[in-house]
Structure 1
Amino acid sequence: MKKTFVIFYALIIYAVAELIWWGYMLVSLQPRRTGMIMGEGAMFVAVFVIGAYNLHKSFNRQQKLSEQKKNFLLSVTHELKSPLASIKILLQTIQKRNLTREQILDFIDKSLNDVERLDDMVENMLLASKIENRSYSFPKASFNLSVLVDSIVNRLQITKCDCNQQIIDAEIEPKIEITGDKFALTSVVTNLIENAVKYSNPCSAVAVKLFSKDDKVYLEVADQGIGIADHEKARIFDRFYRVGSEETRNTKGTGLGLYIVKEVLDKHHASIKVKDNRPAGSIFEVVFGLT
């Protein structure tokens, strides 16, 4: 890519130099037409500069997308290897050691948690691919959103922390019915809560609220984590976008979660915005219209 930029800028410099030279020659040969030559030359330069600027932006976008895809491949590789290695160790331990029934059941539970983690990641990648290819139709039906959010909170709940504190504090108004794609909205809720947990300190509170007000349904997920800088809030919903480099980043992820969230909510005519939590962290607020 650097070589492409060098060639691109070299061609621009050459073209501008040639333009100036030919302009000088024309003015020397026809001094009476200096005004016309200068006007046409200025118009040509303006068109040339605008085109060069747009090409430069296109190159930059391509470079950023290439870097994001590289980070995506690195993160997917890590995300796959980590739970697979954990499952392998747990199963090998069960196979080679004489464990009690309680220990075996505990290892099986941990293995199933890793399998669910893998399943969530695969579902995310498949859904993102279908959304990108516009091959997913978002079939809609009426369902109980309260039950859906409660089940996801229970699945992602972590009750065994060093501080003996539940990591997800949920306030869910019962019997909230909406019309939408249950599968896709499951991915939305899962991604929002998993992100809040991922970017929070161990055992810090993550608040999940679901309630209705003024013919609208609100879903709020608040964490006390690292927060999101103002200049990044507009980009966090871009496909593959993640802060920093995959080689130095501490948090896990593929950069697809919030992209899926935004795309799915757009298809449901719902909105999402990010606010700063106080004193630290972020609040993601989703609003569904009931009418």
Structure 2
Amino acid sequence: MEKIKKHKFSFLSIAYWFLLLYIVSALVLWYFELEKQNKQMYLFRYELLKKDDVLYNEKLDALNDAKQRKTWQYAGEGITFLVLILVGAAYVYRVIRRQIKTADQQQNFMMAVTHELKTPIAISRLNLETLQKRKLQPEQQQKLLTNTLSETQRLNDLTTNILITAQLEGGKYAMAKDEINLSELAESCLRNFSLRYHNTKFISDVEENIWVKGEQLLLEMLINNLLDNALKYSPYDGSVSIRLFTKTKNAVLEIADEGIGIDDNDKKKVFEKFYRVGNESVRKTKGTGLGLFLCKKIVKDHKGSIDVCDNQPNGSIFTVKIPLLE
């Protein structure tokens, strides 16, 4: 499928540039034809001049001047049309390329969302059917119920991400300006993840009583998405650390993982909508390409910044800075 898309885009690119070259060639040919006609008119009028005419020199100068002005006129018109054609061609090519890229990303997003929706639904249904058809021990029942609740929470997080993204992009989300204890919020998010993922080691270094102004739901989504992203690309028995401290009138949140890391070329792109890193080992992980885009949008709406850098010896560190409550 990927090869077909590449061949299709290559064919369109070749056809596009061939058509552009044809138009430019026609424009150049048009200039030479007009210049040829200009020279023929000059020679025709030159032959009509009489050398014994008292005004011969003046008429010859006027004829030469008219020929030169025509040459400059054709050249000016040709250059103007050429510039307009090239600018328009570059714009159209950029728009088409962006549309093809967006269409591919949306198609990948729909496929990912379909998978992400079906998996928790299928697991929850299987667990409930097992509880309904079999008589299990209380410990087994509790395990299945816990697993079902975890999958339900995963489904809820996904649908919330999609809904909030649409509202934020459409400017329809009325963001509150409450005083939020970011320290307590971070600790709460970390506790929820530690209960859901028993095999992962969570390391917490959270400074107490760090207050910011903003929307609690959005800030909770920000932390949850960063933690979820760290878990996706971490080893099964790896560790995820969260650090919260203050620096130069900012609350600084750092979430680090021990995963495969991110290439330098992808560090800026990971915050784009629907973007997923091109490495196949990463594409196989679950995700829709909305999480980090939503994180950047939330941070921006809170007048902050978000960056990613390499963790040592391996992995990534996402750093969020949000202004402290004044």
Q: Considering the TM-score relative to the shorter chain, is it more than 0.5?
A: yes
User: How far does the alpha carbon of each residue in 1:42-80 deviate from its partner, in whole angstroms, 9 at most, with x for none?
Assistant: 232122112101110111111110000001000000001
Equivalences, count: 287
- Mapped to 2, the partners of 1:240 and 1:249 lie a distance apart of 12
Once the two structures are superposed, the pairs formed by residues 246-285 of structure 1 within 5 Å of their partners are 249-285=283-319
In 1, Cα distance between equivalents of 2:117 and 2:280: 15
After TM superposition, give the deviation of residue 30 of structure 1 in Å: 0.6
CA contact (8 A) 1:143 1:179 kept: yes
1:185–1:105: structure 2 CA closer, same or farther, 3 Å change rule?
same
* Distance change (3 Å), C-alpha of 1:89 and 1:247: farther
Return the match for 2:32 from 24, 31, 34: 24
Contact persistence 1:71–1:245 (CA under 8 A): no
Give the 3-state SS of the residue equivalent to 1:203 in structure 2: coil
Q: Decide which moves more: 92-101 or 26-35.
A: 26-35
Indicate the residue corresponding to 1:116 in structure 2.
Answer: 153
The CA distance in 1 between the partners of 2:155 and 2:280, in whole Å, is: 19
Partner of 2:165: 128
Point out the structure with the larger helix share.
2
Gaps of at least 5 residues in structure 2 are 1-7, 40-66
RMSD: 2.1
Assess if the C-alpha contact under 8 Å between 2:276 and 2:283 holds in 1.
no
Q: Which one has more relative contact order, counting CA pairs under 8 Å at least 6 apart?
A: 1
| Closer, same or farther: CA 247–54 of 1 in aligned 2, 3 Å | farther
- TM-score of the aligned structures, taking structure 2 as reference length: 0.82
| Structure 1, unpaired ranges of 5+ | none
Between the aligned partners of 1:247 and 1:149, the Cα distance in structure 2 is 30
Which of 149, 160, 163 in structure 1 is aligned with 2:186?
Answer: 149
Matches within 5 A, 1:167-178: 167-178=201-212
Q: 1:86 aligns with which of 117, 123, 126?
A: 123
Q: Secondary structure at the match of 2:277?
A: coil
1:1-291 to 2 correspondences below 5 Å: 2=9, 8-31=16-39, 32=67, 33-157=70-194, 160-161=198-199, 166-244=200-278, 249-290=283-324, 291=326
SS at match of 1:221: strand
The change in CA–CA distance for 1:96 and 1:7 in structure 2 (over 3 A counts) is same
One-letter amino acid of the structure 2 residue matched with residue 211 of structure 1: F
Cα distance in 2 for residues equivalent to 1:160 and 1:224: 17
Q: Which moved further from structure 2: 203-212 or 13-22?
A: 13-22
Asked whether the 8 Å contact 1:273–1:284 carries over to 2, the reply is yes
Is this contact kept in 2: 1:83–1:117, CA < 8 A?
A: yes
What is the match of residue 58 of structure 2? none
Identity %: 36
The 1-side partners of 2:117 and 2:281 are apart by: 16
Residue 30 of structure 1 aligns with an amino acid whose one-letter code is N
Aligned mates of 2:112, 2:153 — CA distance in 1? 18
Larger C-alpha radius of gyration, 1 or 2? 2
Deviation of the 1:239 alpha carbon: 1.0
**Paired residues of 2:233 and 2:282 also in contact (CA < 8 A):** no
Question: 1:134-182: CA deviations, max 9, x gaps?
Answer: 1012111012111111111111115533xxxx42211112222221100
